[in-house]
């Protein structure tokens, strides 16, 4: 029996090949690769070398769907590989300077560096990395140990027997847009395993179905997300040299006191900058547009000056789980567990999750190998992962900032005060759990919207389609859309009226277009532009959009992101 996290795109009347492995990891991000590496080593220590560990990923090549800022706390990688430096772990630069920059009106700014910088944004000792290069390196380490790593395998459904996860089904390839079978049709295989680890990134579509079906989030806060939009820039060397190792976070313009979010600028090397903007998807404005905010951020003279004479190399977007400890679901169940961003391992106060993702993978590996060795992969056995997490430094770190993101529900100024008290008290005070909210419930009627589109009138500020070009996104065009509108009449009859169809704004890849004339026909979906950020699956006010996985290999092609 299989469980679709949404209506299935797979054919129902075909025979499928089966592949059996001992440990299956869905998604090749830092959490799952750390899990595979640690598990393979533990299996070898126990003389279980014959066990098969398989990592699958929907991207055409490992790393193509991985994107982050990224400043990394080295604690996680140092546990996974104490000799990480000697092994050649890819570091773009060590952090040598950091500051919070308040971007103000009339082109002004204030730089808060040194002791004036908020403690959670001080980054000395951390590393500026390309997460995309990091996962390629981790995948190579895993393969060296004997882990099988298969890119281009898009897991479309969870295989279940009762409440027990028994593996995943791979998406069929060769289906035409109308559902018919093309000459190259090939049914996706069933990959069976006594243990499946879901590390699909934020809002994993399989994990979403499992969490709902098994009530893994019962008694927890709803997860809350931000959408981050990023570009990689080449800048003139004389400016790039000054910024190597510099970590700047920004507040103020263009959000002001409306909503949670801010920008970043990281100096990777003498010629390249990583810059981007994140905004919380609980923003009230029905016309919230993360890409438009990013454009306005780049247009502030402080940022525009840094980009002068440069050119954009890459573009991408992803969501970030910001809800913290109280928004994390139960981490394990019968035959499975959840790791990394999929489970909400992110410290929103420091904007860091890679070290927590690696740690979650290592803890999961310990519990899963114990379960395999005991030939007991029941929920009782896998729950050891939850226990290991609760006695780890990862739990302590997240516990100290357990109410961080919720503090900002009362607005930016109240939130800063509240979060400041949390930092000063080291998390000892404010024990009481703050309630959360699902992002899609916070949108206010279109009549209250204040957002207007930016003018993209210079080389630094591109429209969405130009940026999508820089993401390298490609999908097989003739396939069923992987963006499902559950009830199209809601879009036309209700959403147009109440919210003005926010999908046309919040998607950072211009996938959803509404014709100016003839809106009654409904939305036009350019699914082939989708960069797999999952914003639409989270932010649609009626929960009317369901993201499901397209054919394996489709999506962005992030390099150095
Ligand atoms: Fe992101 Fe959805 Fe747009 Fe794809 S369609 S880029 S998942 S918002």
Q: What is the pLDDT of residues 301-344, one digit of tens each?
A: 999 999 999 999 999 999 999 999 999 999 999 999 999 999 99
Task: Look up residue 98 and give its two tokens.
Answer: 């950091």
How many A from CA of 245 to the centre of ligand 1?
32
Domain 93-127+223-321, CATH number (from 2.60.40.1220, 3.30.9.90, 3.40.50.720, 3.40.50.1220): 3.30.9.90
How many A from CA of 290 to the centre of ligand 1?
12
How many A from CA of 135 to the centre of ligand 1?
23
Task: Using alpha carbons, list the distances in angstroms from residue 537 to 355, 438, 557.
Answer: 26, 12, 21
Taking the CB of residue 517, how many other CB atoms lie within 10 A of it?
6
| Ligand 1 atom closest to the CA of 506, numbered from 1 | 8
Helix (H) or strand (E) holding 303: helix 301-307
Q: Name the residue at shortest CA distance from atom 2 of ligand 1.
A: 536
| Ligand 1 atom closest to the CA of 545, numbered from 1 | 2
Tell me the fold of 19-67+134-174+184-220+329-399: FAD/NAD(P)-binding domain (3.50.50)
Task: Using alpha carbons, list the distances in angstroms from residue 337 to 6, 312, 500.
Answer: 20, 39, 39
Q: Name the residue at shortest CA distance from atom 4 of ligand 1.
A: 530
Taking the CB of residue 259, how many other CB atoms lie within 10 A of it?
21
Domain 446-547, CATH number (from 3.30.200.20, 3.30.70.20, 3.40.50.10470, 3.40.50.720): 3.30.70.20
CB 357 within 8 A of CB 328: no
Taking the CB of residue 64, how many other CB atoms lie within 10 A of it?
26
Radius of gyration of the chain (CA): 23
Q: Of the residues 536, 537, 545, which should be mutated to test ligand 1's pocket, given the most ligand atoms within 8 Å of the CB?
A: 536
How many A from CA of 441 to the centre of ligand 1?
19
CB 558 within 8 A of CB 67: yes
Tell me what pLDDT residue 240 has.
95
Q: Where are the domains of the chain?
A: 19-67+134-174+184-220+329-399, 93-127+223-321, 406-433, 446-547
Residue whose C-alpha is closest to residue 322's, from 248, 257, 401, 397? 401
Tell me what pLDDT residue 340 has.
98
Q: Of the residues 468, 512, 530, which should be mutated to test ligand 1's pocket, given the most ligand atoms within 8 Å of the CB?
A: 530
How many A from CA of 175 to the centre of ligand 1?
21
| Model pTM score | 0.96
Tell me what pLDDT residue 501 has.
94
Tell me what pLDDT residue 497 has.
92
Q: Which residues of the chain have pLDDT under 70?
A: 1-7, 425-432, 457, 517-520
Report how far residue 84's alpha carbon sits from residue 169's, in angstroms, rounded to the nearest whole number.
35
Q: Is the CB of 536 under 6 A from ligand 1?
A: yes
Q: Is the CB of 59 under 6 A from ligand 1?
A: no
Tell me what pLDDT residue 5 has.
46
Tell me what pLDDT residue 416 has.
74
């Amino acid at each position: 029996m299989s469980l679709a996290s949404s209506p299935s795109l797979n054919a129902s009347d075909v025979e499928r090949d089966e592949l059996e492995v001992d440990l299956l990891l869905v998604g090749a991000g830092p959490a799952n690769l750390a899990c595979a590496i640690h598990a393979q080593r533990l299996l070898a220590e126990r003389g279980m070398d014959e066990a098969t560990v398989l990592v699958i990923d929907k991207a055409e090549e490992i790393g193509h769907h991985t994107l982050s800022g990224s400043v990394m706390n080295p604690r996680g990688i140092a546990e996974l590989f104490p000799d990480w430096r000697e092994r050649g772990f890819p570091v773009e630069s060590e952090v040598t300077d950091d500051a919070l920059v308040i971007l103000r009106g009339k082109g002004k700014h204030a730089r808060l560096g040194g002791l004036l910088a908020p403690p959670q944004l001080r980054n000395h000792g951390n590393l500026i990395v390309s997460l995309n290069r990091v996962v390629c390196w981790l995948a190579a380490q895993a393969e060296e140990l004997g882990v099988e790593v298969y890119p281009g395998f898009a897991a479309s459904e969870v295989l279940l027997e009762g409440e027990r996860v028994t593996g995943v089904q791979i998406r069929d390839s060769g289906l035409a847009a109308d559902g018919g079978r093309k000459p190259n049709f090939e049914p996706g295989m069933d990959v069976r395993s006594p243990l499946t680890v879901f590390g699909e990134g934020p809002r994993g579509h399989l994990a979403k179905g499992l969490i709902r079906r098994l009530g893994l989030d019962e008694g927890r806060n709803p997860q809350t997300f931000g959408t981050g939009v990023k570009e990689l820039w080449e800048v003139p060397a004389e400016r790039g040299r000054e910024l190597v190792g510099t970590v700047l976070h920004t507040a103020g313009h263009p959000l002001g006191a409306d909503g949670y979010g801010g920008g970043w600028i990281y100096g990777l090397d003498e010629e390249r900058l990583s810059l981007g903007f994140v905004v919380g998807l609980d923003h009230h404005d029905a016309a919230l547009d993360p890409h438009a905010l990013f454009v306005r951020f780049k247009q502030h003279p402080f940022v525009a000056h840094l980009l002068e004479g440069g050119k954009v190399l890459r573009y991408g977007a992803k969501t970030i789980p910001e809800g913290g400890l109280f928004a994390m679901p139960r981490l394990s169940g019968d035959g499975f567990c959840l790791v990394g961003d999929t489970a909400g391992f992110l410290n929103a106060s420091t904007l860091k999750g890679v070290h927590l993702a690696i740690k979650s993978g290592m803890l999961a590996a310990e519990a899963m190998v114990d379960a395999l060795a005991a030939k007991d992969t029941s929920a009782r056995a896998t729950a050891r992962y939850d226990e290991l997490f609760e006695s780890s430094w990862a739990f302590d770190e997240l516990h100290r900032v357990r109410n961080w993101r919720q503090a900002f529900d009362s607005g930016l100024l109240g939130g800063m005060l509240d979060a400041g008290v949390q930092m000063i008290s080291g998390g000892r005070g404010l024990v009481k759990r703050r309630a959360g909210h699902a992002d899609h419930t916070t949108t206010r009627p279109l009549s209250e919207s204040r957002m207007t589109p930016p003018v993209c009138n210079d080389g630094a500020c591109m429209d969405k389609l130009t940026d999508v070009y820089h993401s390298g996104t490609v999908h097989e065009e003739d396939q069923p859309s992987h963006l499902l509108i559950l009830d199209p009449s809601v879009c036309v009859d209700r959403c147009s009226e109440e919210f003005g169809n926010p999908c046309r704004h919040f998607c950072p890849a211009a996938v959803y277009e509404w014709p100016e004339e003839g809106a009654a026909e409904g939305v036009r979906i350019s699914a082939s532009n989708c960069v797999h950020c999952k914003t639409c699956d989270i932010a649609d006010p009626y929960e009317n959009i369901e993201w499901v996985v397209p054919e394996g290999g489709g999506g962005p092609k992030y390099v150095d992101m």
